[in-house]
Structure 1
Amino acid sequence: MTSPARFLIALALGAGIVGPAWARKDDPATQLANITKGRVAGKPQRCISLSDVNDSQVIEKTTIVYRVGNTYYVNQLKSGANSLDADNVPVTHTFGSQLCDMDTVNMVDRYGGGSRGFAILGPFVPYKPAPGTP
């Protein structure tokens, strides 16, 4: 087999194994799988303490993930997920010090500041590191 042919076969095999980076970045199921990898799902909770939330991540059109310490709380929205995207900033409306199932999240345009829709939170599913993982 000639050297160029070997190169093309190696290139094709590598592309099949690695895959395009943009496909993983934009695929919500893959994003969620990467976040929960090595973690164990717990019993869904109705509320989490807002003051304990360290960070949040939007997975477009599906989910908001809240980080509290080393636990990720995955919230599959009850409605309005279509307004979740990278160009919108989630602004949460709470009653008290907790973020709860049925609270609303307004989506505000990151660049213009206008309202882009709203979503209603569902239950919070905790994902903790699996036993024996660092």
Structure 2
Amino acid sequence: MIKPLALATAAFGLLAAPVQAQEKTEAVELTRGEAELAELLEGRVAGEPRSCIRTIGSRNLNQIDGTALTYRDGDTVWVNYTRNPADIDDSEIMVIKRFSSTSLCRSDQIRLVDRTAGFLSGLIFLDDFVPYTKVDSEVAAEG
């Protein structure tokens, strides 16, 4: 004897299968921030993540809305996806409390301040920094 609950569960599974297949075949649409980051990293490959990066001079740490923080150092673009990327808002000011004068580390604190009202609007918790470097076209053609 088939129990009603088992029959209902099996029927639901059959109805849900076409919906799941349709979701997998639809193209994934990138957010504005994800598209901006993809464009920035085009032609680059990821290297070994690091917990700290050297930040010298007046180079800026840039926000990509809802996606990541980036830092350009020569040919390398360092990306920190953070532990809470949804909180990154490129319209807000970052106030960084560093624990080293020459490095930015995952232990540093970043507060977000509302640009117009001047009040604290959030925190960003850093993760490891991933270096992205350009692929040498000759090496890529050989490989």
Q: Does 1:110 align with 2:112?
A: no
Seen in structure 2, the aligned counterparts of structure 1 residues 28 and 44 have a Cα distance that, compared at 3 Å, is: same
Of 67, 70, 83, the match for 1:65: 70
TM-score by length of 1: 0.71
Q: Is contact 1:52–1:68 with CA below 8 Å preserved after alignment?
A: no
Taking the aligned partners of 2:91 and 2:59, their CA distance within structure 1 comes to 21
**Which deviations, in whole Å up to 9, do the C-alpha atoms of 1:41-90 show, x marking residues without a partner?**
110011011225723321112210111122110001113x3332132011
Q: Does 1:46 align with 2:51?
A: yes
Of 111, 121, 129, the match for 2:134: 129
Identical-residue share of aligned pairs (%): 32
Taking the aligned partners of 1:77 and 1:66, their CA distance within structure 2 comes to 13
Q: Is contact 1:55–1:68 with CA below 8 Å preserved after alignment?
A: no
> Which consecutive aligned stretches of 4+ in structure 1 deviate over 4 angstroms post-superposition?
none
Q: Which residue of 2 aligns with 1:92?
A: 96
Q: Which residue of 1 aligns with 2:87?
A: 83
C-alpha RMSD over aligned residues: 2.1
SS in 2 for 1:82: helix
List gaps (5 residues or longer) in structure 1: 1-22
Taking the aligned partners of 2:74 and 2:51, their CA distance within structure 1 comes to 18
Taking the aligned partners of 1:131 and 1:52, their CA distance within structure 2 comes to 28
The higher radius of gyration belongs to 2
- How many residues align? The count is 109
Taking the aligned partners of 1:105 and 1:124, their CA distance within structure 2 comes to 15
Taking the aligned partners of 1:124 and 1:130, their CA distance within structure 2 comes to 19
Q: Which residue of 2 aligns with 1:10?
A: none
Seen in structure 2, the aligned counterparts of structure 1 residues 123 and 52 have a Cα distance that, compared at 3 Å, is: farther
Shift of the alpha carbon at 1:28?
2.0
Would you tell me which structure has more strand in proportion to its own residues?
1
